[in-house]
Amino acid sequence: MKEILIHRINRVRNWYRHGRRPARFLKYFFTILILLLILVGASAEFTSRPQFCPTCHYMETFYNSWRQSAHNNVSCVKCHFEPGLAGTVRGKLEGLVQVVKYVSQAYRKSKPWAEIPDASCLQSGCHRERLLHGDVTFKGVHFNHRPHLEQMRRGKKLRCTSCHSQIVQGEHITVTESTCFLCHFKKDPTLNPIYDYKYKTEQVLFRKKERAQLKRMSNCKTCHNWKKVPESVRKEFRYDHTSVIKRDLGCYECHTNVISGEGEVPKTQCFKCHFEDERLERYDDHTLIHEKHITENKIECENCHFPIVHRVKKVDPSQPPDCNSCHPGTHEGQVKLFAGTGGEDVKSMPNPMHEAGINCRGCHIFHTENMVNHTETYKASGSSCDHCHGSGYQRLLQEWTTAAKSQMRVLDKVYRMVTSRVRARGNAEVQHLISNAKNNIELVRWGKSIHNIQYSNSLMISAYNDLKKAADLARVKLRFPKLMNLEQTIPSACVSCHTGIITISKEKYGLMFPHKKHVYEKKIPCSTCHSNRRKHGELILRREDCMNCHHKAFPSQTGIKCATCHQTQVAVFSGNVADPQEPSMKSEAGLSCEDCHLTEKGKVIRATGFTCAKCHDEGYGDVLHDWQDEVQGAMKKLRQILTSLKKKDAQKYARVIADAEKVLTTFANDRSRGAHNPDYFSSQAEKLIARMKELSGS
């Protein structure tokens, strides 16, 4: 046997040595080539076996999860290499790169990464029939693969590994439920509500279709349709939902607060992988980002998105209850107004405090206590403004409330007019306009305009215009009352806060100052009277400045009545401040303002004792001074008794104290020291002093 083997070896050796040199070279070359091919083939076969994968220690976890999975009879390369020779060659080359990284320890710098192409999943002998028979039931959820793989889902092209991944530790290519939750429950701020669109355009119809699709996706019965779940599967659950199906009960009747998280993507998530400015600048290009990360590459959603959790929660007594489950949308109007959303055909206009991140508790700082169960409800008041901004800011709240109520009264009247005359004969477009107007009106009414006065103003103006347009389209002639646009009435940047100032009339220097007449009608800038140089809104206007404008000519020459500004003085002079009336003897004698306050040259002056001498004796000026001293003395005495009565028991004597303060305020605002009606002031002081003494027993 040994001799035969030696003989054959010698024959092979002689065969290689026989022949010319080129022939001998070719024999050696092809022999080495064949041996190399055999070695490469054997290596390829050996390295393609799953048992080779855990040679690299960091692959042990993935190998173990594969071995315990339903795919344990399928080799790794069957999935990880795309079908075909090109896919195998590419996979082997990538495997060589991984071996080099492992040997050089370069793998420590990044997480192991693998992509499973859809072609591998859908190849013959695997899940090729999945698209044809895609209906499955997973944890009671009816699921169809075909629309998820063949159609765009929320504008994204999904892959098999979008929903099946290695995210769950220890499970191999399992269903990644968090991906489902992100798609079905993540809100799209561009869809709710829709802004800046014209009626009946393709864009509107498309966006409305998208909005309806998103609403359908987040509906419980889209996934949890128990009628499609076999009875055998239903019985495996903790609770048999057979009775739920028979009674057609809604999920929300038993389960609430089942979704938590927003699925947001802060920009800091991008820094995990990217540092190039040109890529980071595309942060807002959602279409491109999802195309690159989902369609072209297998990037798990959770790598970028914060998770959305969807599960049934037990009631936790240590946590506050989910009020919205029983009281849905209770504060929806307020939140929408505050965020500047929810209106139809009105541009988004968030409250500046919303932009600054202030929440409800920023203003709702006071509380009322329910004595039955000792619970508290936080509420807001004008003092909430002063709490942060300083004293006096609560007046803004009064301005806004007064202005909005005035607008709403007009708008309600217009709405009643239009709906009573137009609805019966209106076409679809008319009904759409009326519906939009109603939505905007109700949003302001229930959302409370003070949560966003500027947006409320825009909503009411839009509703007013829609109602007018509806009447025009229906060819109904109506006389519409004028609705004041608060934003266009204030000729300065002050409108940002002082939206309702035109409804406010303020008494200053004994004069009544109506903002509407000066700001709205005369278009006088706010800076004429106010300055921000030393203090915000500081009044820089003097009484003389008013006179320079108003007393250039006497009212009888301009057609303006004195009572327009001097309401208090005219009321005191005519006796209209008392009940019954106590007119001045000068008023009863037929005297007017001109008789005492106008010179022969037509100049307006303050009346003095010398003015009396024009009509009376020279000593009559002393009579005027006596009247004034007498009234002033009576007022001083009244003020002293009032002060002592307040200290004694302000609550007990509240009524007489209010009457006394009213008289004293009228006296101060009249600014004539009692000259306009000395009998009225003297008699009022005498009566009040008597009442106070009688009540106090002193």
Interval 97-114: pLDDT, tens: 677 776 677 666 666 667
Same domain membership, residue 470 and residue 358:
yes
Residue 291 lies in a domain: yes
**Helix axis angle, 453-473 to 428-447, nearest 10°:** 160
Interval 569-605: pLDDT, tens: 888 888 787 777 788 888 777 787 877 877 777 677 7
DSSP string, 536-585: TTEE---HHHHHHHHTSS-HHHHT--GGGT-HHHHHHHHTTTSSS----H
Same domain membership, residue 446 and residue 339:
yes
Same domain membership, residue 404 and residue 295:
no
Interval 446-457: pLDDT, tens: 888 888 888 888
Conformation bin of residue 284: beta by default, left when phi > 0, alpha when psi is -120 to 50? alpha
Under 8 Å between Cβ of 233 and 280: no
State how many domains the chain has: 4
Interval 634-672: pLDDT, tens: 888 888 888 888 888 778 888 888 888 888 888 888 878
> Of 16, 32, 47, which marks where a domain is finished?
47
**At 454, which CATH number?**
1.20.140
Residue 270's pLDDT band (cuts 50, 70, 90): confident
Residue 20 lies in a domain: yes
Same domain membership, residue 363 and residue 258:
no
Compute the CA torsion angle 493, 497, 502, 507 (nearest 10 deg): -110
Cα angle 624, 626, 631; round to 5: 100
Kindly report the backbone phi and psi dihedral angles of residue 408, in degrees, each rounded to the nearest multiple of 5, phi listed first: -65, -35
**Other C-beta atoms lying within 10 Å of the C-beta of residue 188:** 12
Residue 309 lies in a domain: yes
- What pTM does this model have? 0.51
Domain that holds residue 685: 564-696
Residue 196's pLDDT band (cuts 50, 70, 90): very low
**C-alpha–C-alpha distance, residues 187 and 264, integer Å:** 9
Same domain membership, residue 337 and residue 258:
no
Residue 213's pLDDT band (cuts 50, 70, 90): low
Same domain membership, residue 343 and residue 308:
no
Taking Cα atoms as reference points, which of 446, 209, 448 lies closest to residue 329? Answer: 446
Interval 509-534: pLDDT, tens: 767 788 877 877 777 888 888 888 88
> Of 315, 349, 377, which marks where a domain is finished?
315
Which residues sit opposite 137 in a β-bridge?
142
Query: Does position 48 have pLDDT exceeding 70, yes or no?
Result: no
Residue 71's pLDDT band (cuts 50, 70, 90): confident
Same domain membership, residue 686 and residue 659:
yes
**Helix axis angle, 85-103 to 21-47, nearest 10°:** 80
Same domain membership, residue 678 and residue 629:
yes
Cα angle 337, 341, 342; round to 5: 90
Residues in the chain: 698
Query: Does position 440 have pLDDT exceeding 60, yes or no?
Result: yes
Residue 191 lies in a domain: no
**CA 626 → CA 230, 620, 682, distances in Å?**
104, 10, 12
Residue 401's pLDDT band (cuts 50, 70, 90): confident
**What is the identity of the amino acid at 244?**
V
Among 92-96, 404-408, 620-624, whose mean pLDDT is lowest? 92-96
Same domain membership, residue 365 and residue 299:
no
Cα angle 335, 339, 342; round to 5: 75
Task: Report CA 124 to chain centroid distance, whole Å.
Answer: 51
Among 97-111, 177-191, 215-229, 341-355, whose mean pLDDT is lowest? 97-111
**C-alpha–C-alpha distance, residues 374 and 649, integer Å:** 32
Same domain membership, residue 338 and residue 311:
no
Residue 558 lies in a domain: no
Same domain membership, residue 351 and residue 274:
no
Residue 433 lies in a domain: yes
Interval 291-312: pLDDT, tens: 888 878 878 888 889 888 888 8
**C-alpha–C-alpha distance, residues 488 and 694, integer Å:** 56
**C-alpha–C-alpha distance, residues 163 and 174, integer Å:** 8
> Of 315, 350, 376, which marks where a domain is finished?
315
Residue 76 lies in a domain: no
**Residue 572 tokens, joined:** 């005191």
Same domain membership, residue 179 and residue 234:
yes
**Residue 19 tokens, joined:** 């022949």
DSSP string, 132-186: TS-EEEETTEEEEHHHHHHS-BTTB---HHHHEES-STT-SSEE-HHHHHHHHH-
Residue ranges of the alpha helices (H) in 589-696?
593-597, 609-612, 620-649, 654-670, 678-696
DSSP string, 37-76: HHHHHHHHHHHTSGGGGGGSGGGHHHHHHHHTSTTTTS-H
Residue 392 lies in a domain: yes
**C-alpha–C-alpha distance, residues 24 and 248, integer Å:** 88
Query: Does position 238 have pLDDT exceeding 80, yes or no?
Result: no
